[in-house]
Chains A and B, each alone.
Chain A
Amino acid sequence: MMASHREPLLNELGKRDGEHPETDVERKKLPLPDLTEREVMKHFIHLSQMNYGIDCGFYPLGSCTMKYNMKLLERVVKNERVVQVHPLQDESTVQGCLHILHHLEQMLCEITGMDAFSLQPCAGAHGEFTGMLMTRAYFEQRGEHRTEVIVPDSAHGTNPASAKMAGFDVVEIPSKDGMVDMDALEHALSEQTAAFMLTNPNTLGIFEKDIQLIARKVREAGALLYYDGANLNAIMGKTSPGVMGFDIVHVNLHKTFGTPHGGGGPGAGPVGVREHLEEFLPVPRVVRQGEGYALDYERPRSIGKMSMFYGNFAVLLRAYAYILRKGNSLQEVSERAVVNANYLMERLRSVGYDVPFYRRRMHEFVLSLASLKKKGVRALDVAKRLLDYGFHPPTIYFPLIVEEAFMVEPTEDESRETLDSFVNAMDTIVHEDENIVRGAPHRMPVKRVNEGQAVRNAILTWKDL
């Protein structure tokens, strides 16, 4: 399926001494290859053939929401009135952009139940960091000295990392039956608590049923409730973070709203708040002014800026197109995602896979492959073997509370036939000779990559080779 050739590095393809003694400039040596367009295209096409994208096949990475990226989104951003627009142009010459930003904010408010949004954060973690800085500003404004942020042990790693970056101490609480342990939460809450960060459904794909009680306890402690929107794809139109009692939300447009992941980014992590936090949102805010729109920097309590301009505009525009295309049928997106996840979970259970904390799930679920350990097979091995069957493997070893975790999120876009063929592959693998599984992958451009050596002997540029 994927090309099995090797491709030389760019600097191995062409002359690279980069000596320019003839020019009258300070820098005499610029050691970059000089190649023809034909050579460059060939190089990158060969590289692309050694990479697995969504259009190649099933990509059930848990917590990452790898849905199909509609080609429509790629077309609308090619408009010259986006590509060739400078962020510091006069407002009267960027009314289209401002209108789109404003409308997107409004639609995100509707979907999440928030009162106001900032589209400036460039990624989910950046949205979390923004939310934590607003939390800080909120308590400073109130003259309260709160130093702690609570996160469940099942939380995404970005949650504690973002809280820490904003200067908070992180208090991690254990889970009980795959959900927030209410006793542990109550024990952790105090007048020191600034916020509790939670994703719901959580990283096991379980809806935190006690969310009303959680919200009340957090509110009684005087703290804020933060919603990690990584799993929003499960609940659109069914409930919302606002209704659940959250104060701050970030959403990942590259997950729920269909913008491509770009091999790691760019994504976008807009952050939404309830009314009492609106004054702290980053500047500029996009505001209505007469018949048009303006950028408002005059917000004395704003935390200031989080990125150079107004966020990843081309990503925001893609998400805007996605939401327009889906409209009020976004609810069906969540329904379909949840049906697919539950179907796939039951099918995998039927062929013998173990689902800890077994119960109905929302958009994703987590298997434990611990029972394969006695055969000497690890979750990592099964993941690599799936590659041979043409599937991108699920997320492995996360969340940390499940041994040999295998986290599966099929998304709404996959057909029953695709899900069934994935089950067949999983069923085949469990019965295969363990040496075949442990030696996987066998049909990729490279064999199992030695990641340990990359750490021990750090070769980070072509000069190091």
Chain B
Amino acid sequence: MEDMLTYLGIESIDELFEDIPEKMRTGGLALPDAMEEREVEERIRALLAENKSFFEMPSFLPILKPHYIPPAVDEIVARQEFYTSYTPYQAEASQGMLQALFEYQSVVAELTGMEVANVSMYDSATALGEAALMAHRITGRKKILVPRAMFWHKRSVLENYARGAALEIIEIDHGEDGLMKLNFSGDDIAAIYIENPNFFGIIDRRYDELSKIKERTGALLIAGIDPLHLALFHPPSHYHADIVIGEGYLGNPMNFGGPLLGIFASKKQYLRQMPGRIIGATVDREGKRAFCMTLQTREQHIRRGKATSNICSNQALCCISFLAYVALLGSGGLRGVALQNMENAHYMAERLKEVGFEMPFDAPFFNEFVVTCPLEGKELNKRLLARGMYGGLPIDRYVAKGMLFGVTEMHTRELMDEAVETMVEVVA
């Protein structure tokens, strides 16, 4: 570095920091000394020893669930050309990432039946927030109808996204079937948000009724989806959803809750109101197919305060994991995993019913379901924890003694049988 200082005609590095007023200089950092690589690994491994993984402490927690990720997914996203690259502004040096993201958009479009998708919001909660704002821009209205029963974290994020535009979030109750009531009316609703499967894990097949919402009220239909569920059931396009959001967990591990991948898809007619990055196909100077970021005039780096969203960095690499997962499984493999999830969840629900848990909703479900426990859910979990196991998520706020279970292909019969036996023991 000395020779560079000489070239600059200065004797000390301090001269380069002279613009910082003397009073504001801090003179170093009170941080630990630098560590060797080996020491960093040891330190982090030691800290993480205080955690329990799914394999050490199996659970039936819902919302984000353990799934098997083929090793090839890891290899693909470990390519430095993907994971160390920046946002693909320079299209000619980013064709790999751009094409992969274009394929991701295509896969999301195929799964959801929608015409266009962006290359991610941060997670499903922020995707919902953006969807509400988009519906407001399209309709000029301010009311957003949401199910009373929804994951409270997601609801809180939505409220934060709604604050600036002063959107009004209105809760709609569910009926005895566990599904959000659809008998609302009014001509001042911007959007109605439904989840399918919903928070209770129930599959919503009121396709006719859902299809008619827009005609009846002028409100847009925002559908919150589960990509695996779509391998078996009609996509949201079937019931005329206008905007589709969801958690793109396929190929992305739990990682204590992040990074996640907010799926965001829409009808093409609303394209210019969409938030986030979009990749398009075009040609190069010789007329050959090429890809690039497109419709950038919606975005903050061009439109600044008038952009459709402030999002810049997104979850692009999680899109690649999602895409790689879907590519490796293919349509057959994806169906297989979905069927297995559904079978396992139904097996677990049956076993729990046998031993005295009840199902408050007589409704079809996918891989999550609600039971009422013989004792408070929190207490059940506490007792299970002492036995090296964990139940589901207590949802007393919606169902007394209610617990939401999540089951996937990772929950083997043996594991489920053992869990049920343990529950019987700790309840007694």
Contact = CB atoms under 8 A, between A and B. Distances in A.
Contact of A262 (B161, B285, B302, B317): B317
Nearest to B76: A44
Interface string A68-101: 0100101111011111111111101111110110
B164 interface: yes
Interface string B372-412: 00000000010001000010010000000000000000000
Given A34-B332, A324-B35, A392-B90, A260 B84 contact: yes
A450 B283 contact: yes
A145 interface: no
B38 to A, nearest CB: 9
Interface in A293-336: 303-315, 317, 320-321, 323-331, 335-336
Interface stretch (A50-58, A271-279, A365-373): A50-58
A43 interface: yes
Given A90-B381, A237-B26, A441-B92, A96 B49 contact: yes
A328 B107 contact: no
Given A93-B57, A454-B281, A387 B90 contact: yes
A398 interface: yes
B3 A416 contact: yes
A303 B158 CA distance: 12
A20 interface: yes
Contacts of A82: 48, 51, 255-256
A364 interface: no
B163 A157 contact: no
Contacts of B63: 88
B190 interface: no
A55 B85 CA distance: 9
A218 interface: no
Contact of A339 (B13, B61, B281, B393): B13
A33 B327 contact: yes
Contacts of A143: none
B312 A158 contact: yes
A72 B385 contact: no
A338 B8 CA distance: 12
Interface in A33-62: 33-35, 37, 40-41, 43-56, 59, 61
B100 A44 contact: yes
Contacts of A269: 313
A444 B93 contact: yes
A313 B256 contact: yes
A87 B291 CA distance: 37
Q: How large is the interface on A (under 10, 10 to 19, 20 to 34, 35 or more residues)?
A: 35 or more
A37 B294 CA distance: 31
B282 to A, nearest CB: 4
Nearest to B388: A93
Interface stretch (B119-127, B170-178, B192-200, B353-361): B119-127
Contact of A312 (B29, B78, B259): B259
Contact of A32 (B99, B324, B334): B334
A115 to B, nearest CB: 15
A305 B157 contact: yes
Given A92-B385, A308-B124, A326 B288 contact: no
B318 interface: yes
A444 B55 CA distance: 46
A125 B233 contact: no
B103 A339 contact: no
Interface stretch (B39-47, B138-146, B420-428): B39-47
A66 interface: yes
A266 B157 contact: no
A224 interface: no
Nearest to A99: B47
A429 interface: no
Interface string B1-30: 101110110000100111111011111111
Contact of B330 (A32, A136, A161): A32
B107 to A, nearest CB: 7
A305 B312 contact: no
A164 interface: yes
B335 interface: yes
Contacts of A163: 305
Given A23-B335, A85-B54, A53 B125 contact: no
Given A51-B96, A53-B85, A122-B315, A30 B331 contact: yes
Contacts of B343: none
A263 B320 contact: yes
Interface stretch (B64-72, B180-188, B212-220, B344-352): B64-72
A90 B157 CA distance: 22
A88 B295 contact: no
B8 A343 contact: yes
Interface in A152-177: 156-158, 160-168, 170, 172
Contacts, number: 611
Q: How large is the interface on B (under 10, 10 to 19, 20 to 34, 35 or more residues)?
A: 35 or more
Contacts of B283: 449-450, 453
B362 interface: no
B300 A158 contact: yes
B418 interface: no
A386 to B, nearest CB: 9
A331 B48 CA distance: 28
Given A53-B80, A165-B309, A263-B82, A383 B90 contact: yes
Given A323-B31, A458-B294, A461-B109, A51 B81 contact: yes
Interface in B290-345: 290-295, 297, 299-307, 309-318, 320, 323-324, 326-328, 330-335, 339
Contacts of B414: none
A122 B44 contact: no
A363 B70 CA distance: 41
B153 interface: yes
A339 B16 contact: yes
Contacts of A326: 34
A439 to B, nearest CB: 7
Contact of B310 (A129, A313, A449, A455): A129
Nearest to B119: A264
Contacts of A381: none
A371 to B, nearest CB: 23
A158 B301 CA distance: 7
Contacts of A243: 24, 26
B377 to A, nearest CB: 12
A84 B82 CA distance: 23
A31 B35 CA distance: 51
Interface in B75-115: 75-76, 78-88, 90-97, 99-103, 105-107, 109-111, 115
A45 B59 CA distance: 36
Give me the 10 closest cross-chain CB pairs, A-B, nearest first.
A309-B257, A87-B257, A264-B316, A167-B164, A51-B96, A262-B317, A34-B330, A161-B310, A160-B305, A266-B259
Given A111-B29, A449-B92, A460-B278, 7 more contacts: A27-B232, A87-B258, A206-B19, A238-B25, A267-B313, A449-B283, A457-B282
25 contacts: A11-B103, A27-B230, A32-B107, A40-B324, A44-B100, A51-B95, A52-B94, A53-B81, A72-B41, A74-B83, A99-B47, A128-B310, A164-B305, A237-B26, A263-B83, A305-B160, A308-B125, A317-B44, A324-B39, A328-B31, A346-B8, A450-B290, A453-B283, A460-B117, A462-B103
